[in-house]
Amino acid sequence: MSAKPAQWLGLVTLGMMTAAIFMVFVYVPTEAQQGIVQRIFYFHVPCAWVAFAAFALVALSGTFYLWFGQQVWDDLGYAAAEVGMLFCTLVLITGSIWAKPIWGAWWTWDSRLTTTLVLWLLYAGYLMLRVMAAEIPQVGRLAAVVGIVAAADVPVIIVSVRLWRTIHPAVLVTRQGGHGLEDPRMIATLLVSIVAFTALWLWLLMLRFATLRTKTRIDNLHRELLLVEAELADRSIQARLSPST
Amino acid sequence: MDRRVTSNQKAWAFTAILRKDLRLELRTGESTITLVFLSLLVLTVLTFALDAPAGDPAIAAGALWVAMIFAGTIGATRALIAEWQNGCVRALLLSPADRAAIYCSKLVASFVFMALAEIAAMVLLVLFFNLDFGIRLVRIAPVLAMGALGFAALATLLATIQVQIRVGDLLLPLLAIPVFVPALIAGVKATNAALAGLPFSGFTQWLKILGACDILFLAGGYLLFEQVISGD
């Protein structure tokens, strides 16, 4: 496994990220109603997209792992969950920073916020399982099952949370979708940001995946070594026993 | 012909394991007593913590479901965990019993324990929160039954994961509660609607979500149980 593709992707990420930061801070016009705070939107939305994509990948690789039983899928699922968790955390943080001046509160129990939080909790549980069960051999299967159950749960969560909030009056005025991307420069900035964050995601995923693959190879070598050692010990015992008998 | 034999065997294994679990429970009363006692404690704590006005259906509904979740995560899966304590699970896996039959029997056992505890919690709730005994309480029965079924289905699957991990004592609530969130929302809302005597349409809407959760958890548990129980 060469490090070349990851290096190239790293360079692409660097370039795209620089462009995105330039566009967010210099190029894009300030939104009329929300002011300067609205610029965090160009980081917030790509993070959300990446987090959702990462968690879908967790469920997908979990399914493949249970189906084919190859360690590659388990490693991919683990890497996707870790990186997805990072971006999901960023979504919650950037959202809070934006919500404080706009809604007047760091947090409201709006349906989207609640869904994201529950998603975060689901994958926190998944990662905790991975850490706690790191020593046992069937960890991949257990984690895959949790990943699949969590992903299957997401549609029900979305429906129930939305219904919960529409029946219950919102305490704050939640002007969702009030970002009003009326300027084409705003759309361009958002698109560049999405590409930049997707590249960043794939790059981080690749690095983490490569680390986990190496770890799997070390584990396999370790197991082989133990087998060889056991065989050698067995042979030496037999050699010691055979002259006397 | 062949298929009928296997389905008979499945049913036989299911009833045998379930009968064993229920008999064990009848002799010791361990799970049910633990669950009832936990529900009592949670309801007492919530009465103090909330200092709620008597007869508030929203708070009573919330308290009931908090009690159910706490009692459920701690006590509902005892029938399952008992198999691991003496290594009985190995014998269970060596027997020709189908994995799905093992799952279903453990699920039903957990459901029975939870249902008994919920009946007790319901009585305590009426007393503590000074609610009216009446026909309204009957409408809570399907909500609680569906809630217990969904939770038992989910917890049986996830507890099987937990028992295989030595340091995983608190893993079950960490995994189960976020997954159970939609059912919890629907359950609390439906209980509230039933207690407050709200119109039937608002009630059935939440029952539908609860039903969807039940189907999801049952199907997920039934399909994935084999993956978590077959030890390496």
Please check whether residue B71 is in contact with residue B38, taking contact to mean a CB–CB distance below 8 angstroms.
Answer: yes
The end-to-end CA distance of chain B, in Å, is 33
In a domain, B201, yes or no: yes
Supply the range of the domain harboring residue B137: 10-229
Would the pLDDT of A117 be above 60? yes
How many domains does chain B contain in total? 1
Q: Residue by residue, what is the 3-state secondary structure of chain B?
A: CHHHHHHHHHHHHHHHHHHHHHHHHHHHCHHHHHHHHHHHHHHHHHHHHHCCCCCCHHHHHHHHHHHHHHHHHHHCCHHHHHHHHCCHHHHHHHCCCCHHHHHHHHHHHHHHHHHHHHHHHHHHHHHHCCCCCCCHHHHHHHHHHHHHHHHHHHHHHHHHHHHCCCCCCCHHHHHHHHHHHHHHHHHHHHHHHHHHCCCHHHHHHHHHHHHHHHHHHHHHHHHHHHHHHCCC
In a domain, B4, yes or no: no
pLDDT interval class at B1 (50, 70, 90): very low
- Distance, C-alpha A54 to centroid of its chain: 4
Cα distance from A180 to chain B (closest Cα, Å)?
31
Average pLDDT (A76-105) is: 90
Cα distance from A128 to chain B (closest Cα, Å)?
8
Chain A residues interacting with chain B (CB cutoff of 8 angstroms): 66, 118, 121-122, 124-126, 128-129, 132-133, 136-138, 141-142, 144-146, 148-150, 152-153, 156-157, 159-161, 163-164, 167
Closest alpha carbon within chain A to B211:
A156
In a domain, B142, yes or no: yes
Q: Give A215-224 pLDDT, tens digit per residue.
A: 989 988 998 9
In this prediction the ipTM stands at: 0.84
Question: With contacts defined as CB-CB under 8 Å, which chain A residues touch B165?
Answer: 129, 132-133, 136, 142
Q: Give A227-241 pLDDT, tens digit per residue.
A: 999 999 988 888 888
Q: Per the CB < 8 Å rule, is A133 touching B164?
A: yes
Domain regions of chain A by residue span: 8-172+180-219
Q: Kindly give, in sequence order, each residue whose CB lies less than 8 Å from that of residue A28, ignoring residues fewer than 6 positions away.
A: A39, A42, A183, A185, A186, A188, A189
Mean pLDDT of chain A: 85
> How far apart are the C-alpha atoms of B198 and B204, rounded to whole Å?
11
The tokens describing B114, both together, are 């939870």
Question: Mutation test of the interface with chain A: which of B103, B170, B179, B180, choosing the one with the most A Cβ atoms within 10 A?
Answer: B179
Q: Kindly give, in sequence order, each residue whose CB lies less than 8 Å from that of residue B103, ignoring residues fewer than 6 positions away.
A: B156, B157, B221, B222, B225, B229
